[in-house]
Structure 1
Amino acid sequence: MKTALLLITIFLFFLPPPLYSSEIIIPVDDFPPWKIVHNDNVVGGIDSYLVKALLKDMDFTPRYTYAPWKRCLAMMKNGQGDLISGITLTSEREDYLIYLKPPYKTKSQKVLYVLRGQKHSIATIEDMENKVIGHLRGAQYYPNFDQHLTNSHFETNTDLQGLRMILAHRLDGFFITKENGLYLLRQDSQLRNNLESSAWTYEENIDVYFAISKKSKLVHKVEELEQRIRSLVKDGEIQRIIETHL
């Protein structure tokens, strides 16, 4: 009898984890205010509230894990990650991701921050000529971006660095996505009191999605998840979450 119980115990111990588990892995990079990471720990961000709304009343528990963006994509590709947010559609990514449709965000507004009191000094792209304009390294904020900045433009490693360079009079202006700029100014009173967005803005159509790994157990929940997204978008809940937690 004892031998039989021992064999059963050993058998159960070495069984693979169940196919259906309530925990889902969500890879997250550091991209405030959407995804906020501190000391390699995911501490929040707008996307966490969007995920919570998406999974409401579903038997899933999200577990966030921090990784640089490229590693996040690798995790989704090899099945280590189940769900990812804030992702745009490319043909390469479609090889290993199922994009949940519709997109939950379809527009992105870019602004140019300048010193307070200089709001109307830059109202058009032509006004940027002969000025030193900064932008995040690798980012593009306007069609034919480089062609318009004929004099000088400066790349920064972070948005915060660029905004602080305006205060130091090392930049005349700094390009940034609207939500990112609002978040950083709300976190820093010196920036908030001394900077403002210029009269120049640019809005472009960019579809942003949730996506799941083709190797995830969530592939059986695509229809339910997409129905949930349609409801959140139609009811305006997505926009309310963004505005509330910005």
Structure 2
Amino acid sequence: MIVRTLLFALPLLWLAPPASAAATSPPAPTLVYAFSRFEPYKTVDADGKPAGPYTELLQELARRSGVQLDIVHCPLQRCLALLERGQADLSIGLRGNDERDRYLDFLDPPFAPATATVVLQRRDDPRPIRRYEDLYAMRVGVVEGASYFQRFDEDRLMRRDAASNARLALRKLAAKRFDVLLINAQQGSQLSRELGARQYRRAELQFPGELPRRIALSRLSPAVQAARPRLSAQLQQMLRDGSVRRILDGHAVQAAQAGSKRSGRSLHSMSTPH
């Protein structure tokens, strides 16, 4: 009986990994995500933690790629500085330009097409804005540190006035601190609904998006550059299996429903540009 028991146990011992091997398996690499609030794409939840579709997309991409994601919550300018020094590894919702391209690289493939930039006015402002040159007579509101499109970013004659975030920029527009506000089309739609859609309207002038949306990588981060092939492959898979679209569309529906409850309007009425 003792011999039979030992013979039965030997295959189990053969299959079991040595305790030292399990203990020495390398931990998953960690990437630092520089998070700056950019509604509706990057938001904070009721506990003040980073949330929103872009954050969820990065968390799912990290999970599939076998990396840990640490989130650093910072104002936009601070986030850019961390990426420039390689103290943060990646971010999302950033647009490339000549200055940023010195220290940022962008992951392929893009995860979404470009989004237009629109011009918001107060609803009671009768001035027509049809051409870029019409903006020269106005105080143009922007978000501090944001990049819009090349012509505007490089225009030294434009009179700009900055706010620290888009929500505050819309409030400053309503308070007549700005004449107009340049803003991402989807961001402007959601925030204006939340703050009172009747206060704002879109000008006739708008600017088509120049660049598709990509995940930004720090050029000075060895960790994210090493993980880049895995991140790219998994992002491609997320696009193929519809995960990216489900994440982005799911949050868009939630935001629209929340906006309709606050404003008392239907979803159909909200889909019409202001």
Q: TM-score range by the shorter chain?
A: 0.5 to 0.7
Sequence identity (%): 21
Q: From 185, 205, 208, give the equivalent of 1:203.
A: 208
The structure-2 alpha-carbon separation of the partners of 1:224 and 1:123, relative to structure 1 and needing over 3 Å to count, comes to: same
Change (3 A) 1:102 1:163: same
List runs of 5+ in structure 1 lacking aligned partners.
1-11
Provide the rounded CA distance (Å) in 2 between the counterparts of 1:119 and 1:18. 67
Q: After superposition, where does 1:69-148 map in structure 2 within 5 Å? A: 69=76, 71-72=78-79, 75=82, 81-88=88-95, 90-93=100-103, 99-116=106-123, 121-139=128-146, 141=148, 143-145=150-152, 146=155
Choose 1 or 2 for highest CA Rg.
Answer: 2
**Aligned position for 2:247:** 241
- Residue deviations 1:42-75 (CA, integer Å, cap 9, x gap): 3312211211342354444433222344554565
In the TM superposition, 1:146-185 aligns within 5 A as 146=155, 149=158, 153-185=160-192
Q: Which moved more, 1:166-175 or 1:43-52?
A: 166-175
Letter in 1 for 2:102: E
Give 1 or 2: higher helix fraction.
Answer: 2
Shift of 1:201: 0.7
Higher strand share: 1
Which amino acid counterpart does residue 174 of structure 2 have in structure 1? L
Aligned to 2:237: 231
- Output the TM-score relative to the length of structure 1: 0.68
How far is 1:234 from its partner?
A: 5.1
Query: SS state of the match for residue 192, structure 2?
Result: helix
Contact 2:50-2:73 within 8 A present in 1 as well: no
Call closer, same or farther: CA 1:21–1:179 in 2, change over 3 Å.
Answer: same
Distance 1:22-1:119 versus aligned 2 partners, 3 A rule = farther
Contact 1:134 1:155 survives alignment (8 Å): yes
Letter of the structure 2 residue corresponding to residue 156 of structure 1:
A
The Cα of 1:229 is off from its aligned counterpart by: 1.8
Q: Structure 1 residue 113: deviation in Å? A: 0.8
Equivalent residue letter for 2:228: V
TM-score by length of 2: 0.62
